[in-house]
Structure 1
Amino acid sequence: MAEQKFIRTCSIWRALGVVGDFATLLILESIWQGARRFSEIQTRTGMLKALVSGRLKQLIANGLLVKVAYSETPKRYDYRMTEKCMELYWTALMMLRWEKKWSSGQEKTSVQLTHKVCGHVFDPVPSCGHCEKEIFARDVTWDEGPGVGWMAPSYSRRRQGEGRQNVAECTSLFHEIAMVTGDRWAGLILRSVFTRLRKFDEIRKDTGIATNILSDRLNQLVDNGFLYTHAYQDAPTRYEYRLTDRSWDYYPVLLMLLQWGDKWYASPEGPPLLLNHTPCGHELTPTVNCSHCGGAIRAGDVAYELSTVAEKPAKVFAE
């Protein structure tokens, strides 16, 4: 009998199992921007009908969307967000935050956010719910939580390039970072390196990713500036993988996915991971706050305005 491999329980892993897919992220973004009908979603994403239809069915099955009939003859539906979907909004804001700083798109579509509560243009700031200071990855420590354990990895097969064929034609505001978050392997690898697992075998054991896929994704993350290699042994030469500034700024995305996964997919015993904010010494409950007034951001309290500026050609996450 083949040996069953297990990996550490992780709310990020569970969250990525639902939304760690490029096509899914573009569909959710289009709905966050106001698209409700199938034709609107397809136009905004630039994806094939069959792919959009399949992902919408998965989102409904996972409890993120519901179908609401707006026409009986012929039967037509709107796709509406559930509370579960709305609570991914902070993850989306952190992706926008990363994209604004690091995206290299040739025709870069940027967004200006206005906080309706204070009336000012703002940047979303990942903040500690206790001291309200900005969260930096180096200021966060972690311990095992009551829900820690081991689970069997169950990775469905998705083609890595699904949904990316017409990316230049879509209206996504964070298509570059969606290529990382939308590849579950990449997200899981970065999660491991953030917990100081830097060697190939350590990452493989932590994630349960097949050796060939792990090697491929590590090379891609290095090529695209998220990791760099550091020799820790000379004879023979051995390398470990370390985070770049692009990855340090990606940490809030993982943090918000962790919080979302803790709420919707943690075990009854509690979260598998407990975070501590070193500057204030309290357990970390992350929020996303307005850079102007400091208030917590809610989806209904944000207005946005789009603009397009010319930039240097994009370095796309490799197919």
Structure 2
Amino acid sequence: MEPDRDSFTSLEPGGDNAIAVTLGILGDEWNLWILRHAVEGAKRYGDWMREGAISNSVLSARLGALTDKGLFDRVQYAHRPDRYEYVLTRRGADIWTVLLTMWAWEQTWAPPATPPLPRMRHIGCGEFFSPATTCGECGAGVEAHDVVAELGPSGAWPRSVPASITRRRSAGAKQPSQVIPHTMELIGDRWSAAILGALFLGARRFGEFSERTSAPPTMVADRLARFVRLGAIDTEPNPDRPDWVSYRLTPKGVAFFPVVVFMITWGQRWFRAPEGPALIFTHRGTGHEFRPRLACDRCGEELTASAVSIEPVAD
């Protein structure tokens, strides 16, 4: 059944929850690349083809999948021959918060990209800014330690891991011309995304990652080693077993929290399991539900999509 573009999609009872669906959509570089340019105004095939080295087949497949998930409407704009444009729905346009937090994290924690990631200007104050995460209930600035995350009614681990994410290019394969490589290392395949989620929910020992994600031990070892190389986690001796280690998020890993919370918030808004949410966020010390918002770090004003100008960096 075609999604209601103005409402949420009801998921199957006992099936993939909002986290799995969200990671399946956003854990893909081409999807993010397409959405990034759509937010900036791309609607037609030629608009995207002019932006980078995407092939017709990849663009067609991704646009079809994103339309099926309710992020685009396919609208005919010409006849003989028939031609269509892809217009962001409310669901698709709502992805802007996720994109902003990804860009901000990459700009702070990753080596400079080539070409460089775009800069963000707040139209309200006219300044280039970095988005600050705030609580939508009380307006306070929020960091990872200020939020408690607990599994909700649909939050069972097997339901939270996407069946697959289109990822892992072969050597020489085309890749998006505007990449976010460190972000993709953290969420760009099903096991990486699952292990990252386990880290934010408190997993520290190897066995905990295997148990919570149901990932094969070789996968767990590979992903943990990759995160260590990336600088997102480090190891420390396990006090109970000197020959084992525990894992913890580094400042770089903790700083990824806004990406995680805005992805999950977006997913749970638009894809809802009948049992209830997969994750429940609470603002620590207040007792109220945590609903994230973005504010300009220059003037403090809450951001809206229309108040943000995405500007490429001049060569």
Do the two structures share a fold, i.e. TM-score over 0.5?
yes
What residue is the counterpart of 1:75 in the other structure? Answer: 82
Tell me if 1:189 matches 2:195: yes
Length, aligned pairs only? 301
What residue is the counterpart of 2:243 in the other structure? Answer: 237
Following TM superposition, by how much is the alpha carbon of 1:307 offset from its aligned partner in structure 2, in angstroms? 1.1
Tell me if 1:57 matches 2:59: no
Code of the aligned partner of 1:65: F
What residue is the counterpart of 2:99 in the other structure? Answer: 92
Instruction: Using the TM superposition, name which of 180-189 and 257-266 deviates more.
Output: 180-189
- List structure 1 runs of 4+ shifted beyond 6 angstroms: none
Tell me if 1:134 matches 2:141: yes
Instruction: Using the TM superposition, name which of 100-109 and 232-241 deviates more.
Output: 232-241
Q: CA RMSD of the aligned region, Å?
A: 2.8
Cα deviation per residue 1:103-149 (whole Å; 9 max; x = unaligned)? 20364514332223444433211111122122211111233435455
Label 1:163 to 1:257 Cα distance change in 2 as closer, same or farther (>3 A). Answer: farther
Please point out which of 295, 300, 315 is paired with 1:294: 300
Cα deviation per residue 1:38-78 (whole Å; 9 max; x = unaligned)? 23323424233222221111111111112122221222221
What residue is the counterpart of 2:221 in the other structure? Answer: 215
SS of aligned partner of 2:313: strand
SS of aligned partner of 1:74: coil
Instruction: Using the TM superposition, name which of 129-138 and 92-101 deviates more.
Output: 129-138
Asked whether the 8 Å contact 2:210–2:217 carries over to 1, the reply is yes
Following TM superposition, by how much is the alpha carbon of 1:281 offset from its aligned partner in structure 2, in angstroms? 4.1
Tell me if 1:202 matches 2:208: yes
Cα deviation per residue 1:163-203 (whole Å; 9 max; x = unaligned)? 98444x7135x454244333333222111111111222211
Give the alignment's TM-score, normalised by structure 1.
0.83
Please point out which of 160, 166, 169 is paired with 1:161: 169
Tell me if 1:105 matches 2:112: yes
Asked whether the 8 Å contact 1:88–1:260 carries over to 2, the reply is yes
d(CA) in 1 for partners of 2:192 and 2:26?
Answer: 13
Instruction: Using the TM superposition, name which of 182-191 and 155-164 deviates more.
Output: 155-164
Asked whether the 8 Å contact 2:135–2:290 carries over to 1, the reply is yes
Code of the aligned partner of 2:221: S
Code of the aligned partner of 1:70: Y
d(CA) in 2 for partners of 1:9 and 1:74?
Answer: 39
What residue is the counterpart of 1:285 in the other structure? Answer: 291
What residue is the counterpart of 1:252 in the other structure? Answer: 258
d(CA) in 2 for partners of 1:133 and 1:52?
Answer: 41
What residue is the counterpart of 1:312 in the other structure? Answer: none
> Larger strand proportion, structure 1 or 2?
1
What residue is the counterpart of 1:268 in the other structure? Answer: 274
d(CA) in 2 for partners of 1:248 and 1:256?
Answer: 14
d(CA) in 2 for partners of 1:283 and 1:157?
Answer: 30
d(CA) in 2 for partners of 1:59 and 1:163?
Answer: 26
Code of the aligned partner of 2:119: Q
SS of aligned partner of 1:122: coil
Label 1:56 to 1:14 Cα distance change in 2 as closer, same or farther (>3 A). Answer: same
Asked whether the 8 Å contact 2:133–2:293 carries over to 1, the reply is yes
Label 1:219 to 1:122 Cα distance change in 2 as closer, same or farther (>3 A). Answer: same
What residue is the counterpart of 2:3 in the other structure? Answer: none
Give the alignment's TM-score, normalised by structure 2.
0.84
Unpaired runs of 5+ in structure 2?
Answer: 1-13
Unpaired runs of 5+ in structure 1?
Answer: 1-6, 310-319
Tell me if 1:143 matches 2:153: no
d(CA) in 2 for partners of 1:176 and 1:45?
Answer: 20
SS of aligned partner of 1:47: coil
Asked whether the 8 Å contact 1:22–1:183 carries over to 2, the reply is no
SS of aligned partner of 2:248: strand
Cα deviation per residue 1:258-308 (whole Å; 9 max; x = unaligned)? 111221223234323222222544321111122234333222222122215
Please point out which of 218, 233, 236 is paired with 1:227: 233
Percent identity between matched residues is: 30
What residue is the counterpart of 2:43 in the other structure? Answer: 36
Please point out which of 306, 312, 315 is paired with 2:312: 306
SS of aligned partner of 1:307: coil
d(CA) in 1 for partners of 2:165 and 2:184?
Answer: 18
Asked whether the 8 Å contact 1:12–1:254 carries over to 2, the reply is no
What residue is the counterpart of 2:8 in the other structure? Answer: none
d(CA) in 2 for partners of 1:71 and 1:196?
Answer: 53
Following TM superposition, by how much is the alpha carbon of 1:92 offset from its aligned partner in structure 2, in angstroms? 0.8
Code of the aligned partner of 1:99: E
